[in-house]
Amino acid sequence: MTSTSGGKDFEGAIRLYELGDADRERWARVVDLLTARPDQERRAIAFAARYLVDQVPEIELRLAAGD
């Protein structure tokens, strides 16, 4: 990814990351760059939830529910 200025390079990188199943480190960088821009905070949260937050294993969910 090139710069924090946004633009076509940044958006293109995001599209390629989505198509190519980018690794966690790359998505963390995207989220960092987006959070630096006030108009992109919600988008950063969405990407973080989608690509950086691991799924909670089902067994942990059952234990938390008391089953």
SS3 content of the chain, % helix, strand, coil (to 5): 70, 0, 30
In a domain, 33, yes or no: yes
Q: Give how many domains the chain has, as a whole number.
A: 1
pTM of the model: 0.67
What pLDDT is attached to residue 25?
93
**What pLDDT sits at residue 15?**
94
Note whether residue 1 is domain-resident: no
Q: Cα–chain-centroid distance for residue 62?
A: 27
Ranges of the chain whose pLDDT falls below 70: 1-7, 55-67
pLDDT at 53: 87
Residue 11 lies inside a defined structural domain of this protein: yes
Domain span at residue 22? 7-65
Mean pLDDT of the chain: 81
Q: What is the pLDDT of residue 6?
A: 53
CA–CA distance, 55 with 61 (Å, rounded to integer): 10
